[in-house]
Amino acid sequence: MKKEIIIIGGGIIGLCCAYYLQQDGHQVTIVDKSDISSGASFVNAGYITPSHIIPLAAPGMITKGLKWMLNSSSPFYIKPRLEADFLKWSWLFKKSATAKNVARSIPKIKEINLLSRELYVDMQNSGDFDFHLERKGLLMCYQTDKEGEAEWNMGKLAIEEGLHVENLTKSAVKKLEPNIDFNIKGAIYFDSDAHMTPTNFMPQMIAFLKQKGVQFYTNEPISDLQYEKEKIVAVQTSKRTLKADEFVLSAGTWSSILAKKLRIQLPLQAGKGYRIDVTESTGITMPTILAEAKVAVTPMQGFTRFAGTMELGGINHKINPKRVKAIANAAETFYNGLKIPENSIANAACGLRPCSPDGLPYIGKTQYYQNLTVATGHAMMGWSLGPATGKLVSELIGVKPTSMKLEGFEVERFRFAQFKDLKI
């Protein structure tokens, strides 16, 4: 049955939800507080990552976070602050950072990534788009034996999950990147991964959706959500009231703020990431993560992108020059002879990733509102999981069997979390 559907948020998740919902014949409207030309969906590394099977909430992350808290240029930086939402999120993160959580999460993360990769390919083959998508795999380059051992342990876990992974020497890496002089000891190679150019895909998707009749209301922040009993009836923007049959909440980090208006607990923190784009030729052809520095390197259409860091410092778009410079320094350390131009550093941009406490996204319905579907909390995998999330949302709204089981992605999985031991 055709429905009127409002999607709150026009990032990669919201656009992919719109893509599959309009395919099902629904009338879709997207509302976004921005003009949908910047943010995490535009500045990410463009990775499709079945290799990234370990959630952010993993053993050892608390210790690393405390260690790196003293270093504002570290790969993972937490800005301590006495805010109730942040302290609750931190408490839930600590409880989730266990081996049990990792073991439970690995098959789910792998499955949804593989689903998404195939859906991107389907989009590319549809004839509706002409976007950049390559499957060349991913190199995890390391400079120390300790890091190499840790990365290979990750690789062996991926092999157990059926992914093809190789432990490469420096000379073997050279065969994949013959024009690059690496300062590394070796690399772990994941055949499963692909990469894209987000700034190429996003405008194409927006233009396609408009052509298909999807309505866009941009630069319109939502001030209120109106509900009656078990149904949302309308959203109030800065300019208008919009009614619909179904609502999708995919507003990234801002989803938790809007969820509060509906009395829904949706723990999220903004994980800020930065990118530097270099338009000059670098010779880099392989997507690569510089393991010790946690910097992602992506050969995109017309430029090379260097992206990284996870900064938990609240919702803001302030550029920290130290963190940007750390990305540039790491790149120059791993690639002998590479020099990141000063104008590229000066033009660095950032985006906010919505991070859940356990490292898994929120995808599904809520017990309170029968016509609300939530799709957020994807952290560093938002780009990778866009199509899969959109497909699953369309299946939920259409009351169809879902392409995969949604256990672990429940929207209200922290609803019964007890904070009595947390002093705020």
**What's the CATH number of domain 4-397, 2.40.37.10, 3.40.50.720, 3.30.1020.10, 3.50.50.60?**
3.50.50.60
User: Average pLDDT of the chain?
Assistant: 94
- The backbone torsions φ and ψ at residue 256, rounded to the nearest 5 degrees and listed phi first, read -65, -35
Structure tokens at 375: 């799709």
Phi then psi dihedrals of residue 128, to 5 deg: -85, -15
Model confidence at 377: pLDDT above 60 = yes
Q: What whole-number distance in Å separates Cα of residue 390 and Cα of residue 151? A: 31
Contact 8, 224 (CB under 8 A): no
Q: How confident is the model at residue 337 (pLDDT cuts 50, 70, 90)?
A: very high
* pLDDT of res. 415: 79
Q: How much of the chain is in helix, strand and coil states, percent to nearest 5?
A: 35, 25, 40
Q: What is the arithmetic mean of pLDDT over 347-357?
A: 97
The radius of gyration of the chain's CA atoms, rounded to the nearest angstrom, is: 21
CA torsion 322→328→329→330, rounded to 10°?
110
Mean pLDDT in residue range 288-317: 95
pLDDT band at 234 (very low <50, low <70, confident <90, very high): very high
Determine the 3-state secondary structure of 121 from DSSP: helix
Name the helix (H) or strand (E) containing 6: strand 4-8
Q: Is it the case that residue 146 has pLDDT exceeding 70?
A: yes
Highest mean pLDDT among 100-104, 195-199, 313-317, 412-416: 195-199
Cβ contacts of 420 within 8 Å, gap of 6 or more: none
Six token digits for residue 14: 């919201």
Domains of the chain, residue spans: 4-397
pLDDT at 351 over 80: yes
Q: CA 293, CA 334: separation in Å to the nearest integer?
A: 10
Phi then psi dihedrals of residue 248, to 5 deg: -120, 125
- 388 burial (CB, 10 Å; 0-12 / 13-18 / 19+) is buried
Determine how many CB atoms are found less than 10 A away from the CB of residue 228: 8
- Both tokens of residue 91? 């408490």
pLDDT at 158 over 50: yes
- Per-residue pLDDT at 420: 45
* Bridge partners, residue 306, by sequence: 276, 297
209 pLDDT higher than 50 = yes
236-292: pLDDT as tens digits: 999 999 999 999 999 999 999 999 999 999 999 999 999 999 999 999 999 999 999
Phi, psi of 53 (to 5 degrees): -90, -5
pLDDT band for 424, please (50, 70, 90 cuts).
Answer: very low
Q: What is the pLDDT of residues 54-94, one digit of tens each?
A: 888 888 766 666 666 667 677 788 887 888 999 999 899 99
- What secondary structure letter does DSSP report for 32? -
Alpha helices in 69-98 (DSSP H): 84-96
Tell me how far apart the alpha carbons of residues 147 and 305 are, in angstroms, rounded to a whole number. Answer: 23
* Residue 20 · residue 391 · CB < 8 Å: yes
Higher pLDDT, 1 or 113: 113
Closest by alpha carbon to 421, among 171, 92, 165, 177?
92
What's the pLDDT score for residue 46? Answer: 98
Q: Is 142 helix (H, G, I), strand (E, B) or coil?
A: strand
State the sign of the Cα–Cα–Cα–Cα dihedral 290, 293, 299, 300: positive
CA angle 222, 15, 295 (to 5 degrees): 100
Place of tokens 């002409």: 130
**Residue 129 near residue 205, CB atoms below 8 Å:** yes
Q: What is the pLDDT of residue 74?
A: 76
- Identify whether the C-beta of residue 247 lies closer than 8 Å to the C-beta of residue 371: yes
Spell out where 127-210 has E strands. Answer: 133-134, 138-142, 165-169, 186-190, 194-196
CA quadruple 174, 175, 177, 181: dihedral, nearest 10: 20
Q: pLDDT at position 97, please? A: 87
423 has a pLDDT exceeding 50: no
314 C-beta neighbours (distance < 10 Å), count: 16
